[in-house]
Amino acid sequence: MEKRHNIYGGAVLVLAILTCMAALKLSGVGFFDRVELCYYALLGALAVAVVFYFETSIGMYAWPMVRMELIWPLGLISVWASFHEVLQIKGTLEPELDILGFPIVSGFEPQAWYASSLVFWLGVMAILAYGYIGDRMLFAKE
């Protein structure tokens, strides 16, 4: 078990907590809607915590496919999915109003650039690229 993978796992746990705090600080959404925004972050944090428990108590060789180096990118993607939902709610701009004060619904409500699905998928690809390829290339033992 390498120490940096435990650091990555700890970072996933901290980011999950920060994502839940950001979701709970979000205004304009009901409490139970805000709690649902934390679902993926808590799922990723739980996966990382379970793998950390298996690695430290049982040992890495007892569970060869359950290792932190394989799980932390997936946990981080779960946290990113939850954080992106928070960004979507925060980045949705107010709709235009008609003469009577009702919102004009066009099906294409304006959204900030950081709340787009393109940014979500670029984030997922960056996490996967670093987690499974870049990390091994940067810390390769020669």
Q: pLDDT tens digits for 131-140?
A: 888 877 777 7
User: pLDDT tens-digit profile of 53-93?
Assistant: 887 776 555 666 778 888 889 999 999 999 999 888 888 76
What is the phi/psi pair of residue 132, to 5°? Answer: -110, -20
Report pLDDT for 61: 59
Question: pTM value?
Answer: 0.81
**What pLDDT digit, counting tens, does each position of 104-118 carry?**
776 666 778 888 899
Number of residues that this document lists for the chain: 142
Give the pLDDT confidence score for residue 125 in this predicted structure. 96
Give mean pLDDT, residues 116-130: 94
- For the chain, give me the number of helices (H) and strands (E)? 6, 0
Give the chain's mean pLDDT: 82
> What's the CA dihedral at 29, 35, 39, 40 to 10 degrees?
50
